[in-house]
Amino acid sequence: MRVLFKSIGVLLMLFFWSDSVLAQYNIQHQPPVAIERNSITQLEFSVPGLLESDIQQARLFYRYGGDFSYSQMEVNFRDNDLVADFSLDNPNASIVEYYLEVELFSGESIYFPATLPSENPVRVEIVEGSRGQSDKPEMDGIDYTILSPLPGNGVTKDDVLIAIALFYDINAIEPGQFKLYLNNIDISEDADLSDYYISYKPQELGSGFYTIELVYETSAEEYSVARWQFTVVEPGAASFSGFGENNIPQISAELTGRNQVISGNVNNAYTGRTRVSGKYGLWKYSLNGYLTSQESDRLQPQNRYGIDLMYSDWFMLEVGHVYPTMSDFSIRGRRIQGLNTNINTLDDKLTIQFMYGNLDRKITNQYDSLAVRDIVNSTGDVVSKNYLLTYQDEGRGTFKRKLVGGRISVGDDRNWQIGLHAMKIHDDTTSILNARNFLDVVNSGLELNSSLTQQDRDNLQSDPSRLAVEGGSIKPKENVVLGTDLKIGFMDNTLRLESDAALSALNNNVYGGQLTRERADDLGFDITNNAADFLDRLSWLIIVNENMSALPLRFNENENGDLIGELFLPSSIFATNHELSYRNQSNNARLQYRWIGPNFNSLANSTIRRDVAGFTASDRLNLFSNQLYLTLGFEHLKDNVTNTREATTKTITYRTNASWYPVDRSLPRINMGLRYRTRNNGVDRQNYLLSSDLLNSAALNIRQEIKTINGQDSVVTTITPTPRQNRTFNFTSGVTQQFYFMDARNDASLNFNSLRTSDDVFAFGDVKSSSLSMNLNSRFYELPLESRLGLTYNYTTSGSGQNEIWITGLYAGGNYRILEDRLSLNGRLAFTNNKVNSKILEINENGTAEDPKDDYYEFGSFTDSDKFQTYVLQLGARYDFDQYHALLFDANFTNVSGGSRANDRIVQLRYLFRF
């Protein structure tokens, strides 16, 4: 028991020590005040000191309000930042939550937010936005044809020509005049405005989204005639649509060579990207590929490739590295290497989806040697031997993990639809050599036992199980998920009912095959003939044995006292979710109930929250023509849904959010949110051996009670579950303001977040975190210059002061264009100051080392402090030879004072070719 307490203290120390190690990587992110529907939002994450060569994989996990699992998408390293081009895929959502995970080649991961990201994600309101919407009434009686740019197209700044033709009876409308707006700025004086044709040729538009609106103004009111969006892009990336069908494919290619010196070690890398896309009639296609010299058979695939093929809206095929979604309970945006296809027939009344591929590719175990270690007695005599098979260079591998799944649904999503889905995942046990005993080593053909004496070989040959594998051998898994879903729309789809139910069977080790009567007898119980026959017939779908997360057997004693296993369907493998929603232009209300068993697992979706039941209610009001959004939410959840544990934790959460998102950009856009959460398992903090001032520091929670045993009352000491009673208060806020100053359009933003968790029953359970970030982007009119300034500050303390982290960051950067915008120069200077204080949580034995019941936790006398700074200088240039060819140069110089990595550099040259 005492070893357990000390191990807990060591684990806490290692946890906080790892936090301090990764603190040198401070992820800086300015969350948007809101995300506009039907648009692409760039989420940028800056990590000073982190190089592209450090990153194995970066993923954005996101979900919508009320969801119980996260979807995921890859995040690209672009212009020395991690950038996610995020677009909403849920038309009914009102809130999106997300967090970032960056997996490093070192095996570690860093997150944003850094503190429990899956529980405390970034929350952003979804608004209708100004793009595609107007705050003015629509004008009747005027028809129009948009000539240029076509809605949604991407054009270069030299090709921007706004042109629209009008068709109407001039005598049938009220007298007035036309006005033209570009991004809500009146440009009528510079435009050519006639009665039936409107045109405008803007000068020096920078890259980005633009909104055009044609307005007809009368003496009483302004009316919206037409409103659409387009994008100004770099040369070669424009999407051209002329008069008639355009069947010319768009092709782009990029070659990159990178020279880098990391801690004095040279590590060059080369990459290539290509993309081909186009259409022919109703067919659309795209091909993409990414190759890197950092591809390694010791990692999951770094190279990417994909082929997408679509015919109208009834056939879709994706091949390569794809990200399919079938249901929340099975797979939701997880990358697989294979194919995903959808077929919609019978007027979209029948939908068939099929996917097949690999979740993980095989990575071979790298065994080192077979070590022999003597076991000696107290007198030093050898009494036995241990045999251990070790790995070299942490060379544990993985099986190839295969996936096959499909879904079929009848009906359309808007009115009614019922669907069935199934998915099977299994590890291919033949894909790698996985030594479990000495016979596997002998049959492998590897010279791993060459150092053994003949006696050692004889010992292992007679009992192959005596060979132990360092850390244990890898265990192949198998998983099956079966589910159904129902969607019904009422009142023209304003009222919707959606229901999902699924069951999941997971085998954590399929070695040995399915459970038989002989195997059950070896394990000390028996199973009926019917049960054995059923498990044998089921083995084509999933192997059922004693390693199941929930064994489908119920045990009863017979008249001889023997345990007999009978078939039983455990409730712990089920999951259900039911949702009733009401949505119109001004209101979005949801009522949701979920029940997810503790043994429900999907190997394709590790973010599903298990062992939880309860309901969530929320309502979001859209006021003042979708400019003010008010949200109220309430959630009541509990764990221990199958009553297998001694205590049940109840979690109650209250949420409110207010967003002001005016169309007029001269007004600030504001978002504020509050979240209050309580968690309580109803267990009191008790320990009669400790005084009241030490009670909340107790290592054990114990109580004494009087029980009658054999007719006599006796005092019994019982160890009770660990009490849980805490309160969390979370405040988030964000403000953005656009203003014009010094011949520049300036976009300023400010975000402040505060998280406080107070633990009422554990003295070292408090957590506090505060973060502040400010950002100023300026685009100058008289100069071809764009600048960016920023400040970040974060303070986090956990364990009631056991671990403290201060991080302050400053950065400044800009982009300058010369030679008629053919040459673009950019640079960025970033600085972060990091300070970490850590204390060890120790066990005080309270003078009674032989009895751990009165032990309590306390801070150690030593405080470990670390302070270091990170300096990052980034320089870049791009020269466009013409609209097809470009040359790019990037350089990154990093210095971490006080750390082991100093004076790192990375220099790369890229060549782009598009046609």
473-489: per-residue pLDDT in tens? 899 999 999 999 999 99
Q: What percent of the chain is modeled with pLDDT above 70? A: 91
Question: Which of 835, 844, 843, 842 is closest to 864 using CA atoms?
Answer: 835
Per-residue pLDDT for 2 more than 50? no
Q: Are 126 and 34 in contact (CB under 8 A)?
A: yes
- Highest mean pLDDT: which of 115-119, 187-191, 241-245, 448-452? 115-119
Instruction: Decide which of 715 and 225 is more confident.
Output: 225
E-only strand ranges, 239-349: 250-262, 265-266, 269-280, 283-292, 304-311, 315-322, 336-345
Question: What pLDDT does 245 receive?
Answer: 52
Per-residue pLDDT for 5 more than 90? no
Q: What percent of the chain is modeled with pLDDT above 90? A: 32
Instruction: Decide which of 237 and 673 is more confident.
Output: 673
Q: Are 166 and 142 in contact (CB under 8 A)?
A: yes
Question: Which of 746, 634, 671 is closest to 35 using CA atoms?
Answer: 671
Per-residue pLDDT for 894 more than 90? no
The single-letter code of the amino acid at 79 is D
User: Is 511 in a helix, a strand, or coil?
Assistant: coil
Query: Rounded to an integer, what distance in angstroms lies between the CA atom of residue 601 and that of residue 606?
Result: 8
**What is the arithmetic mean of pLDDT over 166-181?**
82
Per-residue pLDDT for 8 more than 70? no
- What is the rounded average pLDDT for all residues in the chain? 84
pLDDT in tens, 785-795: 889 999 999 99
Using DSSP bridges, classify how beta strands 34-36 and 122-127 pair: parallel, antiparallel or unpaired. Answer: parallel
Question: What pLDDT does 706 receive?
Answer: 75
Query: Rounded to an integer, what distance in angstroms lies between the CA atom of residue 439 and that of residue 49?
Result: 48
Q: Which helix (H) or strand (E) holds 471?
A: none
Query: Rounded to an integer, what distance in angstroms lies between the CA atom of residue 229 and that of residue 211?
Result: 4
Tokens representing 730 are 């979370």
Where residue 899 falls (left for φ over 0; alpha for ψ -120 to 50; beta otherwise) is beta
**What is the arithmetic mean of pLDDT over 530-555?**
90
Q: Are 404 and 484 in contact (CB under 8 A)?
A: no
Instruction: Decide which of 903 and 730 is more confident.
Output: 730
Q: Are 170 and 195 in contact (CB under 8 A)?
A: yes
Q: Are 314 and 342 in contact (CB under 8 A)?
A: no
| Confidence at 208, pLDDT banded by 50, 70, 90 | low
**What is the arithmetic mean of pLDDT over 903-908?**
73
| Confidence at 207, pLDDT banded by 50, 70, 90 | low
Per-residue pLDDT for 612 more than 80? yes
Where residue 703 falls (left for φ over 0; alpha for ψ -120 to 50; beta otherwise) is beta
Query: Rounded to an integer, what distance in angstroms lies between the CA atom of residue 384 and that of residue 626?
Result: 78
| Confidence at 542, pLDDT banded by 50, 70, 90 | very high
Query: Rounded to an integer, what distance in angstroms lies between the CA atom of residue 273 and that of residue 912?
Result: 9
DSSP state of 361: -
DSSP state of 90: -
Query: Rounded to an integer, what distance in angstroms lies between the CA atom of residue 662 and that of residue 660?
Result: 6
pLDDT in tens, 34-60: 888 777 788 888 887 777 777 888 999
Query: Rounded to an integer, what distance in angstroms lies between the CA atom of residue 803 and that of residue 172?
Result: 74
User: Is 263 in a helix, a strand, or coil?
Assistant: coil
Q: Are 577 and 583 in contact (CB under 8 A)?
A: no
